[in-house]
Amino acid sequence: MNRFTTFTLLIFFIPVFVTGCGKKNETIYSEPPRIAREDIKPSPTEVVTEFLSAIKSKNYGKAYKYVNAPYTDKVGYISQMQNTMSDNEVTIVSYRVLATQIYDRTSTVVVELNTKLKSPNMGGLVDITQKSQYSLGLFDEKWLITAGTCIEGCLDREPVEREPVIEVIE
């Protein structure tokens, strides 16, 4: 075989070996997701916005559909929210979504909340601007709130000074 024929055969076979030897379209997931995250409506941002809108308007039944509350049913949730909000005289004045992060099957939404509530120390109403973080998860292909936590500007209860307890040991 002359050099020209050998060179021609190499030029022809090298691309065949390179493109034909590997597995194509190899699946790295055992089961593809049923619905793409982008297609799940409402989005985490919309869920938190709708939840806060319901709380602001004191519609706790509507708020319940945006939370994952496995410890209670709808009636119990409504009762708990009514008691909590009225005992602390909480009113949401306004809110603004600052950031949303979506992971695989969870999400975090950070919100700036302007609220009025009863001060735990003074007893009167105070205006509070705070940042809260809401955690969400996918349940039956729906985003639901699993937790909410104040992360900045929180109104903490100051410890109450008490008389020291004297314990008598006999």
What string of DSSP letters covers 135-157? EEEEETTEEEEEEEEEEES--PP
pLDDT of residue 156: 66
Q: pTM score, two decimals?
A: 0.70
CA distance 67 to 78: 12
Q: Where are the domains of the chain?
A: 35-152
pLDDT tens digits for the chain (170 residues)?
554 444 444 444 444 444 444 455 555 554 555 556 667 899 999 999 999 999 999 999 999 999 999 989 999 999 999 999 998 889 999 999 999 999 989 999 999 999 998 877 777 888 999 999 999 999 999 999 999 999 999 876 444 444 554 555 55
Residue 38 has a CB neighbour count (10 Å cut-off) of: 8
CA distance 59 to 10: 75
pLDDT of residue 73: 94
Into which CATH architecture does domain 35-152 fall?
A: Roll (3.10)
pLDDT of residue 49: 98
What is the full DSSP assignment across 91-144? EEEEEEEEEEEE-SSEEEEEEEEEEEEE-TTT-SEEEEEEEEEEEEEEETTEEE
Per the CB < 8 A criterion, the answer to whether 130 and 113 are in contact is: yes
CA distance 88 to 98: 26
Helix or strand or coil: residue 8?
helix
CA distance 59 to 55: 6
